[in-house]
């Protein structure tokens, strides 16, 4: 495979037509969501300045949804994704949209550890903000999907993240980091070959005791679709309750618009997951 083809397969910003337009739309809808809904901003969940989340309250004592954004671990911000809260708050769910430190200021290993801190902080957050800690769903898009899978699977974090969420929804994630050192984003991520196996969920035992939906867009690159398909297969072979779903015609960016559309089949599935129902 040529370097250009490799970049197209594994860099969604290159793969996705008009990705800047999707970003602008997400930012505008997120700003409108923050104007429309009550929320508590920049709640600390860890010691680093970037370890904060925005919380959109739902029904007291009800379920909660934690969302981790993508950006290949070196871009984007929680405020770009406030829009995911609107349809969930509408059905009584408290929504937590989290930030984490970005590469190259932090290593990917450090960001995974911060994600584990976030998951471990959920019971305390539930006590302070009135949601049910036993009914938390976590979802992540792209790099956010990787972080959730890695934080719940890495041997050094498994014990403290076990039982933190009822269900995981991993949207358009990257689970085998083998392609990353050879694409342009690695100038900021700075993965070396030794990091690949240590930080890839594909090289870890899957998390136990959590239902998983592993979702990818049908219009994403074949290499990116394979990331989700192979990880779902690995989880299923390990006995994990994991479903693999392809959202027809969706690309890496449009899938998040569908995810947050209360009228979409994808949202209907999300809202019926263990924890919500």
Round to whole Å and give the CA distance between 128 and 135: 15
Burial class (CB in 10 A: 0-12, 13-18, 19+), 35: exposed
**Minimal CA–CA distance to 156: which of 198, 104, 210?**
198
Dihedral sign of CA atoms 186, 75, 245, 158 in order: positive
The confidence score (pLDDT) of residue 273 equals 85
The confidence score (pLDDT) of residue 275 equals 78
All residue ranges of the chain with pLDDT < 50 are: none
What's the Cα-to-Cα distance from 27 to each of 5, 21, 56, 269, rounded to whole Å? 30, 10, 17, 25
Q: Contact, 136 vs 161, CB < 8 A?
A: no
How many structural domains comprise the chain? Answer: 1
Helix, strand or coil, per DSSP, at residue 12:
helix
The confidence score (pLDDT) of residue 271 equals 87
**Pairing state between β 136-141 and 167-171:** parallel
Q: Contact, 235 vs 206, CB < 8 A?
A: yes
- Which tens digits make up the pLDDT trace of 192-225? 888 999 999 999 999 999 999 999 999 999 999 9
Residue 149 lies in a domain: yes
Residue 65 lies in a domain: yes
Residue 276 lies in a domain: no
CATH number of the domain enclosing 10: 3.40.50.1820
Paired with 136 in beta bridges are 64
Residue 188 lies in a domain: yes
Buried (b) or exposed (e) across 219-242, using 16+ Cβ within 10 A? bbbebbbebbeebbebbbeeebeb
Residue 277 lies in a domain: no
State which residues form the domain around 107.
Answer: 3-271
Residue 212 lies in a domain: yes
The confidence score (pLDDT) of residue 108 equals 98
């Amino acid at each position: 495979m040529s370097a250009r083809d490799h970049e197209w397969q594994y860099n969604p910003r290159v793969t996705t037509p008009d990705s800047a337009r999707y970003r602008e739309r997400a930012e505008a809808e997120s700003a409108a969501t923050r104007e429309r809904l009550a929320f508590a901003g920049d709640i600390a969940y860890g010691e680093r300045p970037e370890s904060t989340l925005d919380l959109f309250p739902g029904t007291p004592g009800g379920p909660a949804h934690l969302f981790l954004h993508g950006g290949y671990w070196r871009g984007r911000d929680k405020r770009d994704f406030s829009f995911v809260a609107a349809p969930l708050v509408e059905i009584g769910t408290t929504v937590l949209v989290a930030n984490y430190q970005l590469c190259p200021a932090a290593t990917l290993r450090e960001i995974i550890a911060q994600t584990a801190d976030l998951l471990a902080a959920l019971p305390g957050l539930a006590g302070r903000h009135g949601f049910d800690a036993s009914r938390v769903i976590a979802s992540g898009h792209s790099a956010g999907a990787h972080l959730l899978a890695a934080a719940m699977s890495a041997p050094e974090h498994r014990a403290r993240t076990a039982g933190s969420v009822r269900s995981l929804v991993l949207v358009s994630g990257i689970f085998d980091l083998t392609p990353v050192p050879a694409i342009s984003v690695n100038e900021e991520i700075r993965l070396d070959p030794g990091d690949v196996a240590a930080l890839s969920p594909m090289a870890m035992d899957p998390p136990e005791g959590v239902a998983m939906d592993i979702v990818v867009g049908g219009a994403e690159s074949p290499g990116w679709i394979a990331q989700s398909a192979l990880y779902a297969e690995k989880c299923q072979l390990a006995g994990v309750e994991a479903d693999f779903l392809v959202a027809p015609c969706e690309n890496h960016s449009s899938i998040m618009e569908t995810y947050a559309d209360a009228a979409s089949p994808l949202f209907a599935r999300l809202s019926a997951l263990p924890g919500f129902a």
